[in-house]
Amino acid sequence: MALSQEPDGQKGLIFNIQRFSIHDGPGIRTTVFMKGCPLKCLWCANPESQDFVPNLMVRDINCRDCGACVEACVEGAIWMNEEGRRRIDWDRCTQCLLCVDACIYGSLNVCGRYVGVEEVLEEVLKDSAFYKNSGGGMTVSGGEALSQTPFVTRLLKDARREGLHTTIDTSGYVPWKEMKGVLCFADLVLFDIKHLDSEEHEKTTGVDNRQILDNLRRVSREKEVWLRVPLIAGFNDSDAHMDHIAVLGREIGAKKISLLPYHEGGKSKSEQIGRSYGFSQATAPDDDRILYLKGFIEKRGIGASVGS
């Protein structure tokens, strides 16, 4: 089952379609999460979204320790420990996903599936009544939304044809010509700004920010842009840095800056895909600081919000 869906060029790899999405653009929306991302941010809240292929994801709370997966695993990567609990040796796991078929309790799952534009759109259109009343629509996020531009372009185009408001949520780390082709079908771009210092950026995300900032200026000439800043105490929340972001935002005519305080949501998900989480020391600024920063930005003549 799991292996039967290979990419055929027409399909996109997604890891979730989330309805009643109320943080990713205006109104009540459905967010399509594309799988695969060129960045490796330390604080990533959805580490399962990083790989460009489907991978095994474990929900321990569903496991009844029945041992069926042990039988199914040809690599000997799954075993029962002395207490009779199922354990996984992630280093030996080849992501063959045979164990997923063996699990009847929904404890072993595949994260990521290949889908056609029509299938996604059918799901998205189900909430049209909510979009109409709330001014919502569809948001494509990730992973990196723009790493699968042919698929996303078709998806946005068809969504537009259905009269939906379309939003792209991007890290901006994409060649401009890829980005440009998609943009004409988007009404709004949510553009992530992690750090304005390129070195800091590279240290924490794996890539420098030159292409990102370059793209930001270009995008803002064509589309409405909201900046989104993941807020991490001591990393990017200083007055000076925030001032730079606010100035940049005003310069490019961003409509608002969303502050997304860091949370450790990525931690449990890292465990679920067998990765270590290297960001345990990080925290969000405290509530007073967050409110202060919101006001700080607003004083510089640009809208700000927390959490969305």
Partner 1 sequence: MGLTEQLKSNLAIKAVRNVQRGYTEDEKSRGLFRPEIRLDLQRSRLMTESFKETDGEAMVLRRGKALAHVLDHMGIFIRDWERIVGFQTSDPEGLYHPIDMNWRSVMRLVNSEGGRTLLDDEGRNELEDLCEYWKGKCMSDRHQALFTGDLEKYWKYEGTFLWSHLSELGIPDYEALFKTGLEGRIKMAEDRLKEIDETIPPDYVDQKEFLQSVVIVLEAVIRFGKRYAVLAMEMADAEEDPGQRERFMEIARTCERVPGEPPKTFLEAVQFFYFIHLVRYLEYSTLGIGIRLDYLLGPYYEKDLEEGRMTKDGALEILQLLWVKFLELGLVYSPLVTSVYGGVASLQALTIGGTDREGRDVTNDLTYLVLETANTMKTIEPSIALRVHNNTPDELLSAATDTIRTGIGYPSLFNDEALIPLLEKWGVPSEDAKGYAVSGCVYMEIPGKNITRRVEGYFVLAKCLWWALHQGVDPKIGEQWGARTPDPATFTSWEDAFQAYLEQVKFFTTKLAQVENTCRDLYAKYCPRPFYSAIVEGCIEQGKECKQWVYPSMVHDMTIVIGSTNVADSLAAIRKVVFEDKRVSFQELIEIMDRNWEGREDIRQACLNAPKYGNDDDYVDLIAREVHHGSEATMETVKDRFGFSKRGDGSAVSATYGLAVNTPATPDGRMDGEPFADSTLAPQPGVDKKGPTAVLNSCAKIDTLQTYNHLLNQKFLPQFLEGEMKPLFIDYLKTWRDMKIPHVQFNIVDSETLMDAKQRPEEYQDLIVRVAGYSAYFVELSEGLQDHIIDRTVQDLG
Chain residues that interact with partner 1, rule: CB under 8 A: 18-24, 27-28, 45-46, 59, 61, 64, 66, 104-106, 126-127, 129-130, 132-135, 228, 258, 260-261, 263-265, 267-269, 271-272, 305-308
Shortest Å distance, C-beta 111 to partner 1: 12
Cβ distance to partner 1 smaller for residue 48 or 51: 48
User: How many CA atoms does the CB half-sphere of 277 hold within 13 Å?
Assistant: 21
Nearest to 201 by CA among 212, 190, 191: 212
Place of tokens 């961003």: 254
Cβ distance to partner 1 smaller for residue 66 or 72: 66
Cβ distance to partner 1 smaller for residue 18 or 95: 18
Which value, to the nearest 10 degrees, does the dihedral of the CA atoms of residues 88, 93, 98, 99 take? 10
Shortest Å distance, C-beta 191 to partner 1: 14
Question: What is the DSSP code (8-state) at residue 207?
Answer: S
Cβ distance to partner 1 smaller for residue 138 or 154: 138
Shortest Å distance, C-beta 246 to partner 1: 19
Cβ distance to partner 1 smaller for residue 86 or 228: 228
Question: What is the DSSP code (8-state) at residue 170?
Answer: E
Question: What is the DSSP code (8-state) at residue 174?
Answer: S
Helices (H), ranges, the chain: 68-72, 98-102, 117-125, 128-134, 149-161, 176-183, 198-205, 210-222, 239-252, 265-272, 287-299
Shortest Å distance, C-beta 18 to partner 1: 6
Judge whether 259 and 293 are in contact, CB under 8 Å: yes
Shortest Å distance, C-beta 19 to partner 1: 5
